[in-house]
A = this chain, B = another copy of it.
């Protein structure tokens, strides 16, 4: 496979062909292009050109293209499609993707679109899925799955399965339910390939099957599926009835989105933005954190203003404030990032007090090494040992306090049900800047006795 690469030339050619309405040329170029790549093209061209493409191509391809588009491009295209055209796209999609698109439609056309869907079972499944909260297993799952009744025999089962499998892109597991639809176990396709066709289902199914509750958080579903290497997991309601199935491709998206969100939070970007978004969107994502930094900096300046009388005798103290602030920030981010990752991977063991002792030891060790280097540098530079000593001792104190704040802020947020990842970004840097500088001047004043 030579991977598809969207070149400027290809893009220009497609744009021109659209302008000239050369439909057959367009169709022959795009025939062998994967829907994810068509989406990449549609994201790059003008909205009306993208709409033209969508209307031109077959709906079994364009429906998948729609699911891969950037949100704003999809919204613009859907606006230009009739209810009937949208319904045709939905018809081709798995119920989870269809429900996601319906959820984005303007309220006033939803009913019209749903009524245009010819396959009423499909429409019903989509409407069912709309009931579930987006940020839950129910919001992720699809209705498509293959299930058999434990009271059937293998012959009926295989016949039923063939019909059901028509609607299911990837079969993975065959779920076994009882007469009340309660999930009882599973059959693997492989078992079916290797088992005699005359056995009753009751005797051949595996009574153990992992499942998640419909209200489970997506991150928890992702954790379970990746821990247990599952490629699909059935979703059950409060009384254990099989209501849907989540597949690994959706979970890959959850994992990637989680990681991006954490990374962006750590970098001080508060919204999901990309490099190619507008300057206004980027500003909206970045400015709030910079404001926080500004407030922190102003706070630090105010603190230093309070120690102004020291400036005539110990100007050098003021030269090291960026160093102190940087160290407090770096140590804080390091310790909080480790805790945030531990929380995400669920591998934090042991008591809080042990963690406290450990972080203090660690910070003291790091602080000692760094302070020693700084001591010799400052002493050598300015020849004033007491000041150099004061700066170095303050540095140790600042690092220890920063480490403690960095460790406990995410733990505290996590306990309060707040995403601890926000603690790794400018939030921790800013508060540590202020605390750091306050501690620094306070200890220096104490040691130098001013």
Contacts and interface: CB of A to CB of B under 8 A. Distances in A.
Contact of A248 (B194, B210, B248): B248
- Of A3, A166, A321, most buried by chain B (CB within 10 Å of CB) is A321
A342 B279 contact: no
Interface string A159-185: 001100110101100000000000000
Contacts of A269: 334, 337-338
A266 B266 contact: yes
Interface stretch (A101-109, A125-133, A347-355): A347-355
Contacts of A330: 268, 289-290, 293, 426, 429
B341 A275 contact: yes
A221 to B, nearest CB: 11
Contacts of A355: 275
Nearest to A171: B190
A336 to B, nearest CB: 8
A305 B329 CA distance: 23
A290 B370 contact: yes
Interface string A322-338: 11111101110110111
Given A287-B366, A293-B330, A333-B267, A301 B322 contact: yes
Nearest to A188: B170
B231 A170 contact: yes
Given A324-B297, A330-B429, A362-B279, A266 B268 contact: no
A208 B32 CA distance: 10
A151 to B, nearest CB: 22
Given A259-B263, A262-B263, A362-B282, A322 B321 contact: yes
A76 interface: no
Nearest to A349: B276
Nearest to A331: B290
A224 B2 CA distance: 11
A298 interface: yes
Contacts of A329: 326, 329, 429
Contact of A279 (B34, B319, B358): B358
Interface stretch (A21-29, A51-59, A249-257): A249-257
Contacts of A273: 338
Most buried by B among A268, A279, A286, A316: A286
B430 A326 contact: yes
A369 interface: yes
Nearest to A189: B189
Nearest to A170: B231
Contact of A252 (B252, B339, B345): B252
A78 interface: no
Interface in A348-382: 348-350, 355, 358, 361-362, 365-366, 369-370, 373-374, 377, 381
B266 A248 contact: no
B210 A231 contact: no
A329 B429 CA distance: 10
Nearest to A333: B267
Given A275-B341, A304-B318, A370-B291, A429 B326 contact: yes
Best-surrounded residue of A1, A194, A274, A350 (most CB of chain B within 10 A): A1
A320 B268 CA distance: 21
A311 interface: yes
A226 B289 CA distance: 31
Contact of A264 (B318, B327, B337): B337
Contact of A323 (B208, B209, B297, B347): B297
6 contacts: A44-B349, A263-B337, A268-B337, A289-B334, A297-B323, A325-B325
Closest 3 CB pairs of A and B: A297-B323, A267-B337, A259-B259
